[in-house]
Chain A
Amino acid sequence: MTLSGTVDENSDLETPFAKLNGDLVINMKDVERVNSMGVHLWIPVMARLSAKHRVVVEEISYAFVFNANAVANLFGAARVVSCGAPYYCAACKDHVMVKVTADEVAASGGAPPSKRCPKCTAALEFDELDGYFSFFKNRSQS
């Protein structure tokens, strides 16, 4: 399943998940915005879903990472395997979002993994705080 757009007070989160019966992979790369009322709707849905089924969440967007670091139980018992992370290419002078996996972060001891520019292959600079990936660690400890 791919989610896109906005998770907010106008979102219907119940219907898309209502008929699910089995394991689920949710891609959240294109969720552009989430607000506190969206988080309030999201938490019980994700808690119920991940309690019944094996749920894997991949490529959570910048907006969702921001919330994942602010709310401990944002993904219930789901396994978050990757997220989008902001990097900067000094050669292209371009801001790029790059997919980073939980395994890569674990392998680098929690530090931002090294990445290369998809256009020019130059080494990218991580463009966020070191704590950006904290939610991976916090989830694996909970």
Chain B
Amino acid sequence: MESEAPRGLLIAEDAKTVAMLQRVASAAQFPLRWISTVDEIAAEQIADYSLLVLGESVLGGAVGSQVELLRRGAHPSLRIAVVDESQDRRAALDRILVQHADHLIPAGTSEDVLFATLRKLGSGTFFGLERYLLPGVNADFWTLGSSDEKTPVLDQLRASADRVNCHPRITDLLLSAVDEMIINAIYRPVPSAETTGRSVRPVTVACATDGRFLAVSVRDEHGLFRHEDLIRAIRKALVHEERGIAETAVHASLGFRLMLAALSHLAINVEPGRRTEIIGLVDLRLSLKEYRSAVPGLGMFT
């Protein structure tokens, strides 16, 4: 039986959001229907769609209530994408939590990343950092068996970033994020690794650049990461920002918050029971100030 091509439903009012999504969806050959009014939403059959894209400005008022009704009739595999229109980092994280979003699309996002996201969703093929890069790039790979092997890899990543003139502080942020990705890959799937420091299955780090982006991925061979883990981690991290971390806490639960704060885009690919790949992207075209003020993009593919 031939599976149906994925389709998206865009509910948005903001003209810029609509124009960007329609333009990029068309280029990515991802069918995307746009509606904006309460009547149109009420008439929709959400079961026909695999992706619901919500403009931030429609999440309140009568339209928001109607969107909630529409979502209640959705099948569990419906993916939610929220377009952040306020360009406020904290508000964007709150939106991820409230909407249980799989994808966060910043309004000021690089359309290249949105294009790659829609192509991934359209094809159902998620793994590989090259999906975010121009064709023809070559990646470097490293395999790690334990966390004390990570420093030489991080040193080589710094050298790669220096070669493409990445701002030194952005490089610091990238390395912090990759450090988090590595410990997540080593320790999260097998908690006993916290006492041995060793991963029972190898962790693979890859790095490539096309001049626009510097991309780093870390892959484990467990595939145990879940969307709920991400939501829980972000929720805890926002509490830590205000109240701190209890001295008796079992985990700092900061990793994903730090990754999101340190990267232009964070993508998590999961093949349940087999592998998890976390990809971090740095937009090399931005100044440090632009980089730090930009809302990070997020994509959870499973």
Interface range, A side: 20 to 34
Contacts of A71 in B (CB 8 A): 240-241, 244-245, 252, 254
Cross-chain contact A36 with B197 (CB below 8 angstroms): no
Complex Cα gap A67–B244 (Å): 11
Complex contacts, A74 vs chain B, CB 8 Å: 244
B positions within 8 Å CB-CB of A: 147-148, 151, 154, 167-169, 172-173, 175-176, 179-180, 183, 187, 194, 197, 237, 240-245, 247-249, 251-255, 257-258, 261-262, 287-289, 292-293
Contacts of A32 in B (CB 8 A): 172
- Within the assembled complex, what's the spacing in Å between the Cα atoms of A44 and B244? 12
Secondary structure at the A interface, as helix, strand, loop or mixed, is: mixed
A37 to B240, CA, bound (A): 14
Q: How far is the CA of A39 from the CA of B249 in the complex (A)?
A: 11
Contact present for B292 and A47 (CB under 8 Å) = no
Give the chain B neighbours of A37 by CB distance below 8 A.
183, 187, 252
In the complex with contacts A70-B237, A72-B243, A127-B288, A33-B179 CB distance below 8 A: yes
Residues B254 and A128 in contact, CB atoms below 8 Å apart: no
Residues of chain A within 8 A (CB-CB) of B293 are: 129
The answer to whether A128 and B292 have CB atoms under 8 Å apart is yes
Given contacts A33-B179, A37-B183, A86-B169, contact A72 B240 (CB under 8 A): yes
Q: A86 to B288, Cβ gap below 8 A?
A: yes
Which listed residue, A8, A9, A36, A73, touches B253 by the CB 8 Å rule? A36
The answer on a CB contact under 8 Å between B245 and A73 is yes
Given A62-B169, A62-B172, A128-B292: A43 and B148 interface contact (C-beta under 8 Å): no
Given contacts A40-B245, A71-B252, 9 further A-B contacts (CB under 8 A): A6-B151, A10-B147, A37-B183, A44-B248, A66-B261, A127-B289, A128-B169, A129-B292, A129-B293
